[in-house]
Structure 1
Amino acid sequence: MDVAALSPDQVGPASQLLEHVLLALGAGTTERDVLAGAAALVADLVDADVAAVCEGAHVHGGVGLGQRFLPERGLARVVRDGGGSFAVPGLGRVRTTVVEVPGLAGVHVVVGRAEDSPEHEGTEDAVRLVARALGLVVLSRHGRERERWHRQQGARGAAERTRLQQALRQREQVLTTSVRFQRAVSSRRPLPELLVQIATSSSELMDDRAVSLVLADPRSQMRMRVVAAVGEPALDHALALAAAEGLGGFGVAVGDQSTPAAAAVHINGRSVGALVLDTSGSGPLDPVGATVLRAFAEHASMALSHADTVRAVEAASSDSLTSLPNRATLLRQLEVALRVTESDGLGTAVLFVDLNGFKQVNDTLGHAAGDEILSRVARRLRRCLRGDDVAARLGGDEFALVVRDVEPERAAQRIAARVQADLTLPFDTHGTTVRVGASIGIAVAADGVGAAELLRRADSAMYMAKARSHAAGPDVATGVVPGGVVVFEADMHDADQLRRQLEHDLLRAVHDDEFELAYQPIVRLADGAVVGVEALLRWRHRTRGLLEPGAFLAGAERSPAVEELWRWVLRTACAQAAAWRERVPDLSVTVNLSAAHVMARGASDDVRAALAAAALDPAALVLDVPADLLGEDPDLLTARLRTLRATGARILLDDFATLDPARGGVLVNHSLAPLRQLPVDGVKLDRTLVGEIDGPEGVDALAAVRVLCELGAALDLGVVAEGVERTEQVVLLTEAGCAVAQGVLLGVPRSVAELGPELGAGELGPVEPRAAAPALADLVDLAGDAEAAAGTIPLDAAEVRAGEGTVVVPSRRVPGPPVPVPISGVRPDDLRRMLDRSR
């Protein structure tokens, strides 16, 4: 290492510097060698023109002072004056820095530079480091020689010799501890661990007295706080903070019976706190004790100042994006909180906060926008906390808060309410308004529960809150699941274990081919022909049997296996459709997409890859996308749908309308206006609407279906009805203008082995027109009578509520019950044929 090439403000790393100094000084076999070597060492370190180690008028060693005549008088003068300048032969006048060697009375280190050379920042700090190391080495390795030298200078009393020997032993301990600490710095241990080690070592060398390390927290406007504390009983936090602030950032305060001793801690010359020692039982520190305290305060300063250490510490102890503590740091702080519960009488609660809708932000706007949202969420969380509460980022969009209070659950509930209120406010980023919600789980500390278990309980409660929120559905105005708050209860443990096991099993099942697809026919109502199939995912679980998506996808939505699973569904469905189309050329296959899949940037690439691998005509693939996406940013949604449609696949909006009699008729719960601009090919009517067309609200429901079908025809959009379960529904849908439908009446989901042979044999083919047409005509005549009784709702009669983004079809009932559609209107042979073709 070329030490001379380094500028004074780039001396580090600290560990290498101290090791270099100690090794260089320790190489001398005698005290004279050590003192002489110190002059050469300090000259190299600070790139000085002149360096010397002086003891009184005697010069032990010098660099740059000339070969024949040493300027002893000039050196003696600057040592006496504590600085100044003197003349050096061949060099001219030099300005000097003079530092006394601690523990070696009358010994000074002098460095100088020519007056016309530039100033070097940090010179005095580097010289002080060498001076302190010089004192420690001389006293620890050459104590006897030094003691003899002192006896030659004058007789000393027995008490002075005893004090000196005690100081030597103590300084040997300081040196040993210093080397151990610097090795810890070299191994890049986390800063919290190094600071605790400093406090612990200080306490050990000061008769196990209580020690606290107080530092300014940049996350709270540089407010002082205790970051490490050792000793029993612990030093009162208020006393430690007062001692640090009273120090004023400089030097050492020796303390007394009522005020602790303190030594300043600096970062690159700026005061940031103090190392505080309890002196209530011992009185003020003597010079040796003050030196020890100062030495360890400087260790703390070096650890904090060293750029490499700071970077390593930040990566190990805090989140680089939000500057909040990370999971490991939170768990350490939580352990401390649980440990001091008995002494301060405060209970502890943990809030586990998970953002709703954040993944969609990341997928749609990119990671830069996502990172900005996370940073601003962190700031909002800090705003919701009280003075001693702690916030941390656990990873991704997960955060945790630690609350301590006499009534921890009540305090946690209040903070959770503030967090939810703050996070529901919109974020403006990258020219877009973004909204997120928060699901929050609360766990309150109990006897015998450690930090990791308490955090896990809060996580379990959060999942329960998220499940309840998803069951309630997104907010109509924002389209975001608002979230909820759940307090952990004992019975949540089993559910949490099952969820975690399911996530683990899901990842394994993708690779072990435990998934399969069932296919439900999609039928053209005019002639009963099967025009397509919808691929429905099933999991043949090793122990739980055959599972449908609702039993596992919701609980594992954040598992990395979900993306790979969706790609498998695409590939498998496309390959099967290609095989079937060899026998049924016009057959299409429908695959359901989640909102996250639609808005993901790589979705279109996955679709193209699946189509290419199966050599399938893109027009044969239909993608069902959730109609809830209509609440998203229209420009972004249009862009995402356009990229999907560019693959050649067709797009349908799934679950499009629901019945809501409380609002005066049938509520089409998604805006119809965007249908004119959105790149979609049709809509799927929600099964709740289809299920009502022959029920108590049949007149309104049928009118809504008619409006949607007329609108679809006007916009050249297909309309598919889901959930057809009764023959009456087939007739009414046909009358309303709906051409295509699916449901258990028309065909239950079946495996490839069950459905394939029937497709090939034509058993699911069209109903014979001559046999079916008369029967259907009879039913249409009866339905026409019902229409005349109820009144037809033309398209222009629907009330468009632009502000709400909805269309309401008004009820136009006439007195009396709705006219039933008798099932006897279909001849038995024709009805049997309609039912048998889908079994």
Structure 2
Amino acid sequence: MDLAALPADQVEHAAGLLEHVLAELSAGTSERDVLSRAAGLVADLVDADVVAVCEGPHVHGGVGLGQRFLPERGLARVVRDGGGAFAVPGLGRVRTSVVEVPGLSGVHLVVGRSDEQRDPDEGLAAVRLVGRVLGLVVLGRHGRERERWHRQQGAQGAAERTKLQQALRQREQVLTTSVRFQRAVSSRRPLPELLVQIAASSSELMDGRAVTLVLADPRSQMQMRVVAAVGDPVLDPALALAAANALGGFGVAVGDEEVPAAAAVHINGRSVGALVLDTRDSGPLDPVGATVLRAFAEHASMALSHADTVRAVEAASSDSLTSLPNRATLLRQLEVALRVTDSDGLGTAVLFVDLNGFKQVNDSLGHAAGDEVLSRVARRLRRCLRGDDVAARLGGDEFALLVRDVDPGRAAQRIATRVQTDVAMPLETHGTTVRVGASIGIAIAEDGVGAAELLRRADSAMYMAKAESHAAGPAVAAGTVPGGVVVFEADMHDADRLRRQLEHDLLRAVQEDEFELAYQPIVRLADGAVVGAEALLRWRHRTRGVLEPGAFLAGAERSPAVEELWRWVLRTACTQAAAWREQVPDLSVTVNLSAAHVMTRGAADDVRAALTAAGLDPTALVLDVPAGLLAEDPDMLNARLKKLRATGARILLDDFATLDPGQGGVLAGHSLAPLRQLPVDGVKLDRTLIAEIDGPDGVDALAAVRTLCELGAALDLGVVAEGVERTEQAVLLTEAGCSVAQGILLGAPRSVVELGSELTADELGPVEPTAAVPALADLVEFTDEAAGEAREEGTDEGPLDAAALFAREFGPAPVPRDGALAIPLAPSPPAGRGPAPVPVPISGVRPTDVRRMLDQSR
């Protein structure tokens, strides 16, 4: 170009433009920076929408290409064709011009415009100017290296040139892959997918050789295992593990024909494995190959470190077993929900879910089975929720659900019903079918109620639901676990406060020895001998006085002090029995076990420890287990009772058999069939059945007692009657074949000292009827007057003394074989003399006098 022929203003403009381009490109800090600056200059000079600096299919820099996905294929095509059009994300289809960069082999500037009206070749002179300066700047920076490379390229053969080009492409591909991995890690792609992609990319860059990623497994004491393997055939896992272990956790091993190459993988500086490459057919890695392998190992380290950080963050806000949000996270989400109520118009409800029957599963099958049940229940809870609802695990077997709806109460009720149905479905775990239920408390958000208070209200309602399910008794359907749903009401505050205070007091009482045992005699009706004593728990509360178990155990069954309390009862009763048996060798002691304690895995160990500590003969201990356990899983119950019986103690089913007059007088509540299979030594007849044998339903009740006594004799099972309060009951029990009983008539619960003195006392004299029944003296006097009138009428049977009257009023009535029962009544008083005195039941009789009492009543 002849500059002298150009006008002065154009020459000045060209000089200024050249100076500007040269200064801008020379300011680049690296080759990549120079290329990016060149793209920006071209875009400014020719007002282009897209500018790219390409070397073959690779893009070194550009403007307007988007942030995530580079249109590499489209750029490669227009470079190959010398122009054309391609699609750019966000711009659509653009038309391009291509200008080769002089001095840089294979490097082109691609200029594109989206405006269809503009000429794509507009401003090519400025583009060529930038291209010429770009070539000069790059060559000036790397002239010596490029010159040497050109000389080597000319001197070496085609194979060597191909090898060098491949090395360059490898480096470029490593760089491109690094960018992609960083984006993938930042977007939190699944870690297993990233690890496989690392192995696959490594194999691709290494001519398709087999690549294996070996990592330490924290679940198996950090033993190495293969997590990704690529290649055909894949590398032998044993070789990969050996190469990883030989590396020692640091650096790169180039490998050879026998040992694979390996590069260490780290998490935050801690060695956790290696990326292993098969070199058996290719020999040791060259420096380029070692660099590539190390680069991909670093990619794996970066992905693992990022995932480890994410897991640490998630672990702080979620439950490790179920992956549900934890209590703290739920409270934060609940606070947000309460804050936005006014803006979105949605109300909030919290459901507090507690599993029924889970403790028995955990105790009988182990914690691993319990964890599996909790995980599966968590998945079922998720299925019950809608899109924006939240499920969280609060701890143990307690969960909470956060529900938002225009009508939160109605939505919460629907979800609660769904939860109860899904949770109650049977679960298979460790080869056993188990069932759990759900007690659910619901609290609806109100103005001024914070997140913590709302959750506490739901907790209070849940306790009420659990109490109602217990009060309902065993499940109607065999194998099901009862549960209930209760919505919080204001008056539950007091009940909740009392329950929490009770739990606190119970824990303190165990620590401060506020509990004591009373003992009720168990009497053999044949001779009135005391053959045993039942230990009955009493709590000498500092403010409420003496409390029986029914006043505190039901409300505190979830307290951690309950199990320790039962261990104290066992130890104390066994120690006392050992002391008594020194004077009464055949005496036994009976201890009531709670249903929850029976089903724990450690119940048998507790019994064995108490027997050993007291030095008590195991046969002297009788364990009363609730008959309500017959509604539990039969296999689980059988296993628990076998373990208890293996201690040597005897087992009785307590509160067995009630009478249901509405069903024709049949036994209700429990089936007799299990008595043939269960490892038990006898049954205790429920006091409600004993109360009926001399009452309006006496015929059916007495027939039921006879049936149970005959069944007990046939199965070699003992039968004990409890709740004997009247002489008539003792007589009828003897006639029905029941030989052992207890109750107020035979002896009220008393202290250790009181019962101990009776067990060692001398023989007592005969029972004086008028002393036993104070009202009997008045009845004798009245009968003497009636006898005088009878003599006048000729119906005198002779005078009746107190003993004869006692026999007539309280003696056994003849019981026909068909079971009819007729108890003689007192004679009707003569007209004008008022009603006849009602016979007073005998009470306070010493157990050793029972036989004499029964003898005198005949």
TM-score surpassing 0.5? yes
Alpha-carbon distance change, 832 to 430 in structure 1, aligned in 2, over 3 angstroms: closer
Query: What is aligned with 2:418?
Result: 418
Contact 1:327–1:394 (CA under 8 A) maintained in structure 2? yes
Q: Distance in 2 between matches of 1:400 and 1:95?
A: 59
For 1:761, what is the secondary structure of its paired residue? coil
The residue that corresponds to 1:124 in the other structure is: 179
Equivalent residue number for residue 820 of structure 1: 823
Query: Who is 1:550 aligned against?
Result: 550
One-letter amino acid of the counterpart of residue 633, structure 1: D
For 1:830 and 1:416, how far apart are their aligned partners in 2? 52
The residue number in structure 2 matching 1:731 is: 731
Q: How does 1:5-24 map to 2 (within 5 A)?
A: none
Give the drift of 1:648.
0.8
* Aligned match of 1:785: 814
Rounded Cα–Cα distance in structure 1 between residues aligned with 2:681 and 2:843: 33
Look up the match of 2:758. 758
Output the CA distance in 2 between the equivalents of 1:779 and 1:394: 67
How much does 1:483 deviate? 1.4
Query: Aligned residues: percent identity?
Result: 76
TM-score by length of 2: 0.59
Structure-2 residue corresponding to 1:506: 506
* Deviation, structure 1 residue 735: 0.7
Shift in Å, 1:549: 1.4
Partner Cα separation in structure 2 for residue 775 and residue 712 of structure 1: 36
Deviation at 1:667, TM superposition (A): 1.8
Distance 1:714 1:122, change over 3 A: farther
Number of residue pairs the alignment of both structures matches? 562
AA in 2 matched with 1:820:
I
The structural deviation recorded for 1:401 is 1.0
* 3-state secondary structure, aligned to 1:70: helix
2:622 alignment partner in structure 1? 622
Contact 2:594 2:626 in 1 (8 A): yes
**Contact 2:766–2:849 (CA<8 Å) still a contact in 1?**
no
Q: In the alignment, which residue of structure 2 is the partner of 1:371? A: 371
Match of residue 706 from structure 2: 706
- Aligned residue for 1:490, secondary structure, equals coil
Letter in 2 for 1:538: R
CA distance in 2, matches of 1:61, 1:649: 99
Q: Which residue of 2 aligns with 1:560?
A: 560
d(CA) in 2 for partners of 1:573, 1:670:
29
What corresponds to 1:650 in structure 2? 650
**CA contact 2:538–2:547 (8 Å) conserved in 1:** yes
User: SS at 2:816's partner residue?
Assistant: helix
Q: Is the 8 A contact 2:318 2:329 kept in 1?
A: yes
List per-residue Cα deviations over 1:47-74 (Å, max 9, x = no partner): xxxxx99996768999xx9xx9434897
Aligned letter for 1:706?
Answer: R
Measured after TM superposition, the shift of residue 373 of structure 1 is 2.1
Within 2, Cα distance between the matches of 1:781 and 1:449? Answer: 65
CA contact (8 A) 2:620 2:649 kept: yes
User: 2:688 & 2:381 partners in 1: Cα distance?
Assistant: 40
RMSD of aligned alpha carbons: 4.2
1:607 deviates by 0.9
**Unmatched 5+ residue regions in structure 2?**
1-25, 34-59, 62-103, 105-132, 151-157, 186-301, 773-802, 828-838, 851-858
Q: Distance in 2 between matches of 1:560 and 1:60?
A: 80
Choose which of 64, 70, 92 in structure 1 pairs with 2:145.
70
1:377-776 alignment, distance < 5 Å: 377-478=377-478, 480-762=480-762
Whichever residue aligns with residue 484 of structure 2, its letter is: G
Q: SS where residue 787 of structure 1 aligns?
A: coil
Deviations 1:713-763 (A, max 9, x none): 111110001111111111111111111111111111122233222223257
Task: Tell me the secondary structure at the aligned position of residue 456 of structure 2.
Answer: helix
Q: Secondary structure at the match of 2:656?
A: coil
For the Cα contact (< 8 Å) 1:588–1:621, is it kept in 2? yes
The one-letter amino acid of 1:819's match is A
1:181-232 deviation digits (Å, cap 9, x = unpaired):
xxxxxxxxxxxxxxxxxxxxxxxxxxxxxxxxxxxxxxxxxxxxxxxxxxxx
For residues 765 and 396 of structure 1, what CA distance do their matches in structure 2 show? 61
In the superposition, relative to structure 1, how do residues 821 and 361 fare at CA in structure 2: closer, same or farther (>3 Å)?
farther
Measured in 2, the distance between the counterparts of 1:524 and 1:781 equals 20
Return the offset for 1:393: 1.4
Range with greater deviation from structure 2 (363-372 or 533-542)? 363-372
Alignment of 1:151-190 (within 5 A): none
* Residues 57-96 of structure 1 aligned to structure 2 (within 5 Å): 69-71=144-146, 92-93=164-165, 95-96=167-168
Q: Which has the larger radius of gyration?
A: 2
Q: Cα–Cα, structure 1 residues 705 and 775, in superposed 2: closer, same or farther, change >3 Å?
A: farther
Query: What's the TM-score once normalised by structure 1's chain length?
Result: 0.61
SS at match of 2:322: coil
Query: 2:765 & 2:716 partners in 1: Cα distance?
Result: 26
**Cα distance in 1 for residues equivalent to 2:180 and 2:139:** 22
**Deviation string, structure 1 residues 28-49 (Cα, Å, up to 9, x no partner):** xxx999989x9xxxxxxxxxxx
Rounded Cα–Cα distance in structure 2 between residues aligned with 1:504 and 1:351: 25
CA drift at 1:694: 0.8
CA offsets 1:8-36 (integer angstroms, 9 cap, x no match): xxxxxxxxxxxxxxxxxxxxxxx999989
The within-5 A match list for 1:91-490 is 92-93=164-165, 95-96=167-168, 113=171, 123-124=178-179, 306-478=306-478, 480-490=480-490
Letter in 2 for 1:339: R
User: What amino acid sits opposite 1:513 in the alignment?
Assistant: D
What's the secondary structure of 2:324's corresponding residue?
Answer: coil
Range moving further from structure 2, 587-596 or 608-617: 587-596
- For the residue of structure 2 that corresponds to 1:785, the secondary structure is coil
C-alpha spacing 1:713/1:123, structure 2 compared with 1 (3 Å): same
- Distance between the aligned counterparts of 1:726 and 1:505, measured in 2? 38
Query: For residues 146-196 of structure 1, what are the alpha-carbon distances to aligned partners after superposition, in whole Å with 9 as ceiling and x for unaligned?
Result: xxxxxxxxxxxxxxxxxxxxxxxxxxxxxxxxxxxxxxxxxxxxxxxxxxx
Partner Cα separation in structure 2 for residue 491 and residue 341 of structure 1? 26
Q: Which runs of 5+ in 1 are unaligned?
A: 1-30, 39-51, 76-85, 98-111, 131-301, 793-812
